[in-house]
């Protein structure tokens, strides 16, 4: 008999789905959506639909392994947990005595979004005196840019968008990366709203929208300034709102004056008439709603792009209108007592930080001390980190000791000296916040750990015990950590207890209906058209419409390349499922027919894509879904599934964004040629 148990999807996606996991004889046999989850409402994506194939994948690592071949060769021998942990501790002791704790670099990201496991290594590495990792690979530029305009605060609930009459999806492939928002947008459309997508190519979402504005990558700030130009010139602004809730309107008006639609057409590639149309539509809508994705922020000037988009609601007073507003992320509402899991107080003062975007550099160029050990968990840097060539050179270093916690024998795990087999979220306890909705949910294991796997927290507790660390945090269980996380005075969490979370159902945070009713999070408490804090950081205090450009490729390569998510994968995860790989098909590069013609490239032809950083091979797909000059590669195929075993991050750069020190994954210049190899 199949018994369905409640769980939560742990993957890095705004939707944080409620799941019902079918278990029979102690094995997961099916995964479906929980119809009682108020946001995800019983639907799940094609990826998680196939979850049993991930849990029982032939690539699942079932017991600790030790390297038995060359680095990266993937030859291992089975060892016991005691051997694996002892070896790790011995290596770390030696490295610390020779070079100090900073020679050890933890590297982790959001393989699981569970708040406990995500942070499970923080206290341990602080106590070791290891280098700190700046976890900026994803959202840091978006966060910093948005915060400069509106503050680091929760944003408008997607559920309220049903009352909107204009939905702008700005640099988000919602149907791929936030699919549970779509039914709310459709409900708004049934009530008369139109849906506009702003994106460099006609992605899955743009194909379903009422209108698509195809801007050049990296030109969002200019587009938003063009809209502002129209709105201000035609006096479509909300003067009363501007007076009460914003600062620096006069300065903004001056700057927007520099961006008349014909100039903005030149920068963005969007026809002036469309810019005028969008400016008017936005200002004249009763309740315009913007969904910003992360796309605009994955550009060298991504912070500025996000900041500028986030100023639009301030001109027309959209934030406090029922159905109107803007969403970037809801995560700031999950205001836990983070010290309970982070324990920054355990770190020695002055310990150095290393930015995860620059992992390649950290392993190949950083000195004083050099990185001698890399401890990877919840991430697959051999595939996801930019500038793969540098990352792989680093991982191949004979003198670098590499530990990897994994579910699967990933490309990164292949480079490990020690692989530690890890439980999935179906085998461990955690607390899940969301960055797309306002429900908090706890999940308890629905099956026993598969093989000899252990949770991340259990592994770090085991390592801490070998170092004889005595702080309480090194012997806490998942439940104890959750109880401590909830020990917060945030009004959003009031009344939410471990006991009611343990029932396993999603619990709505106590957020007000008007999410901005408590004011904004900027220094002035207002929407800052002019930002003194940006001026203080030496940045332009006003929005700036200069486009982003890949400085390393400028003048050398002609085609822009963006590398957004693929429907069938989640970053590099789900490559292990054959069904999804087949659905994803051969890796393709989307190229405009004119660009293909001048290069002698035909449909389905194998092509080489390259720049000074690296190269990879894919198959050409010729379509006017993209503009001339702009190419698109969707998704992170594992290099072993790419024609010449090289992944798309061969082409991306370790350069940091203007704000937030994030990665400009969509800011690349490349060349494409027919390939013979």
Ligand X SMILES: Nc1nc2c(c(=O)[nH]1)N[C@H]1C(S)=C(S)[C@@H](COP(=O)(O)OP(=O)(O)OC[C@H]3O[C@@H](n4cnc5c(=O)[nH]c(N)nc54)[C@H](O)[C@@H]3O)O[C@H]1N2
- The reply on whether position 8 binds ligand X by CB under 6 A is no
Rounded CA separation 553/661 (Å)? 20
The one among 40, 247, 380, 522 contacting ligand X by CB under 6 A: 380
- CA torsion, points 563, 568, 573, 575, in degrees to nearest 10? -100
Q: Which of 8, 28, 79, 138 binds Mo ion (CB under 5 A)?
A: 138
Contact in structure between 606 and 572 (CB atoms under 8 Å)? no
List the Cα angle 302/306/311 in 5-degree steps.
Answer: 150
Show contacts with ligand X in window 15-74 (CB under 6 A). Answer: none
Phi, then psi, of 255 in degrees rounded to 5: -65, -45
Q: Decide if residue 573 touches ligand X (CB under 6 A).
A: yes
**CA distances (Å), origin 598, targets 365, 479, 608:** 39, 61, 15
What does each C-alpha distance from 25 to 2, 129, 428, 447 come to in angstroms?
8, 45, 18, 9
Residues near 138 by beta carbon (within 8 Å), at least 6 away in sequence: 12, 109, 110, 294, 662, 663
Binder of residue 445, out of ligand X, Mo ion, none (CB less than 5 to 8 A by kind): none
HEC states along 568-583? CCECCECCCCHHHHHH
Q: Which does 112 bind (CB under 5 to 8 A by kind): Mo ion, ligand X, none?
A: ligand X
Point out which span in 130-138, 209-217, 417-425, 665-673 binds Mo ion (CB under 5 A): 130-138
Provide the minimum distance between the beta carbon of 108 and ligand X in the complex, in angstroms, as a whole number: 8
Range in contact with ligand X (rule: CB under 6 A) among 319-327, 335-343, 517-525, 648-656 = 648-656
Tokens 């969707």, located at residue: 634
Torsion region of 56: left, alpha or beta (phi above 0 gives left; psi -120 to 50 gives alpha): alpha
Smallest gap, in angstroms, from Cβ of residue 216 to ligand X?
A: 8
Q: State which of positions 278-307 bind ligand X (CB under 6 A).
A: 293-296, 298-299
Residue keyed to tokens 């639907």: 43
Q: What is the DSSP string of 454-505?
A: B-HHHHHHHHHHHTT--SGGGG--HHHHHHHHT----GGGTT--HHHHHT--
Residue 488 binding target from ligand X, Mo ion, none, CB below 5 to 8 Å by type: none
Q: Is residue 565 close enough to count as binding ligand X by CB under 6 A?
A: yes
207-226 positions binding ligand X, by CB under 6 A? 215, 217-218, 220
Between 141 and 242, whose beta carbon lies closer to Mo ion? 141
Task: Report the partner that residue 195 touches, choosing among Mo ion, ligand X, none (CB closer than 5 to 8 A by kind).
Answer: none
The verdict on 651 binding Mo ion (CB under 5 A) reads no
3-state secondary structure 74-108: CCEEECCHHHHHHHHHHHHHHHHHHHCHHHEEEEE
Q: Which is nearer to ligand X, 181 or 371 (CB)?
A: 181
Interface residue with ligand X, options 6, 7, 8, 13 (CB under 6 A): 13
Q: Which is nearer to ligand X, 255 or 301 (CB)?
A: 301
Nearer to ligand X, 17 or 96 (CB): 17
Q: Is 241 in the site for ligand X (CB under 6 A)?
A: no
Q: Does 270 bind Mo ion (CB under 5 A)?
A: no
| Cα–Cα distance for residue pair 142/305, rounded to 1 Å | 8
573 binding partner (options Mo ion, ligand X, none; Cβ < 5 to 8 Å by kind): ligand X
What whole-number distance in Å separates Cα of residue 319 and Cα of residue 244? 13
Radius of gyration of the chain (CA): 25
Q: How far is the CB of 462 from ligand X (least distance, A)?
A: 14
Instruction: Give DSSP secondary structure letters for 342-381.
Output: H-GGGSPTT--EEEGGGHHHHHHT--SSPP-EEEEES--H
According to CB under 6 A, which residues from 127 to 156 bind ligand X? 137-138
**Options 51, 76, 107, 109; binder of ligand X; rule CB under 6 A:** 109
Nearer to Mo ion, 33 or 295 (CB): 295
Residues 6+ apart with CB under 8 A from 150: 310, 326, 520, 521, 522, 527, 528
Q: What is the total count of residues that contact ligand X (CB under 6 A)? A: 59
3-state secondary structure of 30: strand
**15 or 238, CB closer to ligand X?**
15
CA distance 324 to 285: 9
Contact residue for ligand X among 164, 434, 572, 654 (CB under 6 A): 572
| Assigned token pair, 156 | 């408008």
Residue 248 or 635: the one with the smaller Cβ distance to ligand X is 635
Residue nearest to ligand X (CB): 295
Task: Give the C-alpha separation, 462 to 465, whole Å.
Answer: 5
Please list, in sequence order, all residues whose beta carbon lies within 8 angstroms of the beta carbon of residue 70, skipping any fewer than 6 positions away.
Answer: none
Indicate which of Mo ion, ligand X, none lies near residue 160 (CB less than 5 to 8 Å, by partner kind): none
- According to CB under 6 A, which residues from 417 to 446 bind ligand X? 422
User: How near is the Cβ of 423 to ligand X at its closest, in Å?
Assistant: 7
Among 379, 441, 484, 631, binds ligand X (CB under 6 A): 379
Question: Which of 199, 276, 615, 658 touches ligand X (CB under 6 A)?
Answer: 199
Footprint of Mo ion (CB under 5 A): 138
In the complex, which residues of this chain contact ligand X (CB under 6 A)? 12-13, 109-112, 117, 137-138, 170-173, 176-177, 198-201, 203, 215, 217-218, 220, 293-296, 298-299, 377-380, 384, 405-408, 410, 422, 456, 562-567, 569-573, 636, 648-649, 652, 665-666
């Amino acid at each position: 008999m199949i018994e369905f148990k409640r769980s939560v999807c742990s993957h890095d996606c705004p939707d944080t789905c409620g799941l019902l996991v079918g278990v029979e004889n102690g094995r997961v046999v099916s995964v479906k959506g929980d119809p009682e989850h108020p946001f995800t409402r019983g639907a799940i994506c094609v990826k998680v639909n196939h979850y049993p194939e991930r849990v029982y994948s032939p690539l699942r690592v079932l017991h600790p392994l030790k390297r038995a071949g060359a680095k990266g060769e993937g030859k291992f021998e089975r060892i016991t947990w005691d051997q694996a942990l002892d070896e790790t501790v011995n290596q770390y002791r030696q490295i610390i005595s020779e070079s100090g704790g900073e020679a050890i670099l933890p590297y982790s990201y959001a393989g699981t979004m569970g708040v406990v496991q995500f942070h499970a290594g923080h206290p341990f590495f602080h106590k070791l005196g290891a280098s700190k990792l700046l976890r900026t690979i994803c959202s840091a530029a978006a966060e910093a840019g948005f915060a400069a305009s509106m503050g680091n605060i929760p944003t408008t609930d997607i559920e309220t968008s049903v009352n909107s009459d204009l939905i702008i999806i700005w640099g988000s492939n919602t149907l791929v990366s936030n699919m549970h928002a779509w039914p709310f947008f459709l409900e708004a459309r049934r009530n008369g709203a139109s849906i506009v997508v702003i994106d460099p190519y006609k992605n899955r979402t743009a194909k379903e929208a009422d209108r698509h504005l195809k801007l050049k990558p990296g030109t969002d700030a200019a587009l938003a300034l063009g809209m502002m130009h129209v709105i201000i010139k035609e006096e479509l602004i909300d003067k009363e709102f501007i007076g009460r809730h914003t600062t620096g309107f006069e300065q903004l008006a001056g700057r927007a004056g520099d961006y008349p639609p014909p100039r903005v057409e030149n920068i963005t590639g969007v026809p002036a008439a469309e810019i005028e149309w969008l400016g008017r539509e936005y200002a004249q809508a009763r309740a315009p709603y913007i969904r910003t994705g992360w796309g605009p922020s994955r550009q060298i000037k991504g912070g500025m792009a996000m900041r500028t988009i986030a100023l639009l609601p301030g001109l027309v007073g959209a934030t406090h209108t029922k159905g109107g507003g803007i969403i970037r992320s809801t995560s700031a509402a999950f205001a836990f007592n983070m010290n309970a899991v982070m324990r920054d107080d355990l770190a020695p003062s002055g310990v150095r930080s290393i930015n995860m975007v620059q992992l390649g550099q950290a392993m190949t160029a950083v000195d004083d001390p050099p990185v001698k050990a890399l401890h990877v968990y919840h991430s697959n840097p051999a595939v996801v980190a930019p500038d793969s060539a540098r990352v792989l050179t680093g991982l191949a270093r004979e003198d670098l000791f590499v530990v990897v916690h994994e579910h699967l024998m990933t490309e990164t795990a292949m480079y490990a000296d020690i692989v530690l087999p890890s439980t999935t979220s179906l085998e461990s306890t955690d607390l899940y916040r969301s960055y797309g909705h306002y429900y908090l949910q706890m999940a308890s294991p629905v099956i026993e750990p598969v093989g000899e796997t252990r949770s991340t927290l259990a592994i770090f507790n085991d390592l801490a015990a070998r170092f004889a660390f005595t702080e309480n945090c090194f012997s806490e269980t998942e439940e104890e950590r959750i109880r401590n996380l909830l020990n917060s005075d945030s009004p959003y969490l009031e009344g939410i207890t471990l006991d009611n979370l343990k029932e396993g159902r999603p619990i709505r945070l106590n957020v007000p209906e008007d999410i901005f009713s408590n004011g904004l999070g900027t220094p002035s408490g207002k929407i800052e058209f002019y930002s003194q804090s940006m001026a203080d950081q030496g940045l332009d205090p006003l929005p700036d419409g200069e486009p982003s450009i890949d400085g390393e490729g400028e003048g050398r390569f002609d085609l822009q390349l963006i590398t957004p998510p693929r429907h069938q994968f989640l970053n590099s995860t789900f490559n292990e499922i054959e069904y999804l790989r087949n659905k994803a098909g051969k890796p393709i590069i989307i190229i405009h027919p004119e660009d293909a013609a001048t290069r002698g490239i035909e449909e389905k032809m194998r092509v080489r894509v390259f720049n000074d950083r690296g190269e990879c091979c894919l198959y050409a797909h010729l379509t006017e879904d993209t503009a001339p000059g702009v190419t698109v590669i969707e998704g992170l195929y594992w290099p072993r599934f790419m024609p010449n075993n090289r992944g798309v991050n061969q082409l991306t750069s370790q350069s940091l964004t203007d704000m937030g020190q994030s990665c400009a994954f969509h800011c690349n210049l490349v060349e494409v040629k027919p390939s013979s190899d």
